[in-house]
């Protein structure tokens, strides 16, 4: 494409377009650069992998200069004359790895396929350095547009500056910066970049450089830097706080900080928590049965610590049956399972629909620890738990069908979060009240919570009084349930009507 098989150098500029400079909020006095390896080159019509465990792969449509005549100590006025061709490029980068190498960008911008370039080159003869335009589309929508006559550092200045420090050789490539509009792309997205000279006769164009994002399956090893997230990096990657908020709402980004508390409390108030303190799940289930709610049991699940009890608001995660094509598309990287554990909020209980299959590991030590760190009130899954002994060491209550060592992909595909699910034979909606103890776990519709809690607390007190009488040696006949005589005594001794 450039007259040589592989460029000797690929040099990229950090900031150059005024729109991008304004977006970043800092104005460089002089251009700054980083290198990209030749192994990062990729052709048009190719794919790029978003590595497993990452979520912030961002595109940057750019005008690429191809050196035609060796340049050493060129002047800004002569710099453009050393450029033989112009083409389109996509300077892809992973913000998850940005902190690892600061401005050098070795890890976050040096990955295989992270520099798509082409599809054809345009000879610069007869075309000025200010005559070029770059545009980027994502899934057919125009998201970036910039022209070279607006640049903070014109092409000739870039060539001159670099040639002060190194010899620019024929075939070397300079990526000249990206305009505002860069953002995160997801597996399945298609990015297209085109460079043209629309005001030049014939309007020469590179055509569209097409790259499809795919999901990688290989995790980074612990012998080097692994992906990390910060809210600042998320905002930069997505482009704005508003775009990040929309991505979080859509489930495409991790919420790193819990949302602000609501000005009005939810149904599970401090008063109701106090009422239910010490109340058995069996007692609450009896109150629900009186109201016609009999299919509210999450059957077959038991706590990982003897004596655990849970009470909180449901956040849901749904698995579907395994299918290879769906697993390949949905199970890698920041999948629904990871999103659920990464976004559960304080006081919530993560309820997992694993289709009642015990021979699956739907929760492991890392995910259970993540839920605990985020302040979750517990985890309930009608599947199995991996790393069971390690999970038992954590404080967070985990109710499951027991231990199983299988990894994700044996029976399930993580599918979606925050939807109505079926867990252990019970329907569970986000916001339902989940209550559990050694007897089991039940689901309480929020609108019934207050009256059920009041009735169950009263019943628990009555049952406790009855138990004391049985312990004294009284027969249960007439006492459980209480006849009129026992009822009168109970009310007299306790003051309860």
CA dist 413 and 329 (Å) reads 9
CA dist 66 and 82 (Å) reads 9
339 is in an annotated binding site: no
Is 231 part of any domain? no
Read off the CATH number of the domain in which 35 is found: 3.90.850.10
15 is in an annotated binding site: no
**Are residues 214 and 68 part of one domain?**
yes
In this structure, how many other beta carbons lie within 10 angstroms of the beta carbon of residue 29?
6
Is 253 part of any domain? no
CA dist 349 and 371 (Å) reads 9
**Are residues 308 and 175 part of one domain?**
no
343 token code pair:
């976004």
Inter-residue contact 133 to 33 (CB < 8 Å): no
Is 5 part of any domain? no
DSSP three-state, residue 67: strand
367 is in an annotated binding site: yes
149 is in an annotated binding site: no
Q: Could you list the pLDDT tens digit for every one of the 497 residues in the chain?
A: 444 568 999 999 999 999 998 877 778 899 999 999 999 999 777 899 999 989 999 999 999 999 999 999 999 999 999 999 999 999 999 999 887 776 789 999 999 999 999 999 999 999 999 999 999 999 999 999 999 999 999 999 999 999 999 999 999 999 999 999 999 999 999 999 999 999 999 999 999 999 999 999 888 888 888 888 888 788 888 987 778 888 888 888 888 865 544 444 578 998 999 999 889 999 999 999 999 999 999 999 999 998 899 999 999 999 999 999 888 888 877 788 988 998 899 999 999 999 999 998 899 998 999 899 899 999 999 999 999 999 999 999 999 999 999 888 788 999 999 999 999 999 999 999 999 999 999 999 999 999 999 999 988 888 888 889 999 999 999 888 888 888 888 888 887 76
The H or E element spanning position 93 is strand 93-94
**Are residues 437 and 300 part of one domain?**
yes
**Are residues 178 and 74 part of one domain?**
yes
Read off the CATH number of the domain in which 358 is found: 3.50.30.40
Q: Provide the residue range defining the domain that includes 301.
A: 294-444
Taking CB atoms within 8 Å and a gap of at least 24, the contacts of 332-335 are: 332/52, 332/187, 332/215, 332/216, 332/217, 333/50, 333/51, 333/52, 333/53, 333/54, 333/55, 333/187, 333/215, 333/216, 334/53, 334/54, 334/55, 334/254, 335/414
β-sheet bridge partners, residue 314: 349
CA dist 357 and 369 (Å) reads 23
**Are residues 71 and 170 part of one domain?**
yes
**Are residues 333 and 214 part of one domain?**
no
**Are residues 214 and 310 part of one domain?**
no
**Are residues 323 and 419 part of one domain?**
yes
Is 237 part of any domain? no
- The whole-number pLDDT of residue 244 equals 85
366 is in an annotated binding site: yes
Is 465 part of any domain? no
Inter-residue contact 482 to 464 (CB < 8 Å): no
Query: Into how many domains does the chain fold?
Result: 2
Instruction: Answer with the one of 198, 223, 248 that is the final residue of a domain.
Output: 223
**Are residues 358 and 213 part of one domain?**
no
**Are residues 421 and 298 part of one domain?**
yes
Instruction: Answer with the one of 424, 444, 464 that is the final residue of a domain.
Output: 444
Is 83 part of any domain? yes
Instruction: Answer with the one of 403, 422, 444 that is the final residue of a domain.
Output: 444
Closest CA to 176 of 14, 7, 2, 6: 14
342 is in an annotated binding site: no
Is 234 part of any domain? no
Is 87 part of any domain? yes
């Amino acid at each position: 494409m450039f007259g040589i098989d592989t460029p000797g150098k690929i040099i990229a500029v950090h900031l150059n377009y005024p729109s991008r400079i304004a977006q970043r909020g800092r104005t460089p006095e002089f251009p700054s650069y980083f290198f990209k390896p030749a192994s990062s080159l990729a052709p048009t019509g190719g794919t790029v992998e978003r590595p497993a465990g990452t979520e912030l792969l961002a595109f940057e449509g750019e005008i690429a200069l191809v050196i035609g005549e060796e340049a050493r100590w060129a002047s800004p006025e002569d710099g453009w004359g050393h450029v033989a061709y112009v083409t389109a490029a996509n300077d892809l980068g992973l913000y998850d790895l940005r902190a690892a190498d600061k401005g050098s960008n070795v890890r976050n911008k040096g990955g295989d396929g992270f520099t798509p370039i082409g599809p054809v080159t345009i000879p610069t003869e007869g075309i000025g350095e200010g005559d070029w335009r770059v545009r980027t589309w994502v899934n057919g929508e125009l998201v970036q547009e910039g022209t070279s006559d607006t640049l903070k550092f014109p092409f000739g200045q870039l060539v001159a500056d670099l040639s002060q420090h190194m010899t620019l050789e024929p075939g070397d490539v300079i990526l000249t910066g990206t305009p505002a509009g860069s953002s995160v792309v997801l597996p399945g997205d298609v990015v297209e970049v085109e460079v043209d000279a629309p005001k030049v006769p014939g309007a020469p164009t590179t055509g569209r450089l097409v790259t499809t994002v795919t999901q990688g399956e290989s995790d980074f090893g612990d012998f080097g830097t692994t992906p990390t997230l910060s809210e600042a990096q998320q905002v930069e990657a997505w482009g704005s706080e508003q775009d990040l908020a929309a991505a979080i709402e859509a489930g495409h980004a991790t919420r790193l900080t819990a949302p602000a508390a609501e000005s009005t409390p939810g149904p599970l108030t401090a008063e109701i928590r106090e009422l239910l303190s010490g109340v058995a799940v069996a007692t609450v289930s009896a109150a629900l049965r009186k109201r016609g709610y009999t299919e509210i049991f999450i059957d077959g699940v038991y706590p990982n610590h003897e004596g655990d009890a849970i009470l909180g608001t449901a956040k849901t995660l749904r698995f579907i049956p395994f299918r290879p094509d769906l697993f390949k598309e949905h199970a890698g990287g920041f999948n629904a399972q990871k999103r659920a554990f990464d976004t559960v909020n304080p006081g919530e209980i993560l309820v997992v629909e694993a289709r009642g299959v015990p021979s699956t590991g739907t929760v492991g030590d890392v995910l259970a620890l993540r839920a605990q760190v985020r302040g979750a009130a517990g985890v309930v899954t009608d599947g199995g738990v991996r790393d069971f002994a390690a999970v038992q060491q954590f404080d967070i209550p985990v109710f499951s069908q027991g231990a199983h060592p299988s990894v994700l992909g044996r029976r399930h595909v993580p599918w979606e979060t925050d939807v109505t699910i079926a867990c252990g034979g019970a329907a569970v909606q986000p916001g339902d009240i989940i209550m559990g103890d050694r007897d089991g776990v039940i689901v309480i519709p929020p609108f019934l919570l207050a009256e059920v809690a009041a009735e169950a607390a009263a019943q628990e007190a009555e049952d406790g009084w009855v138990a004391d009488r049985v312990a004294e040696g009284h027969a249960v006949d007439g006492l459980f349930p209480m006849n009129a005589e026992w009822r009168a005594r109970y009310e007299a001794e306790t003051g309860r009507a």
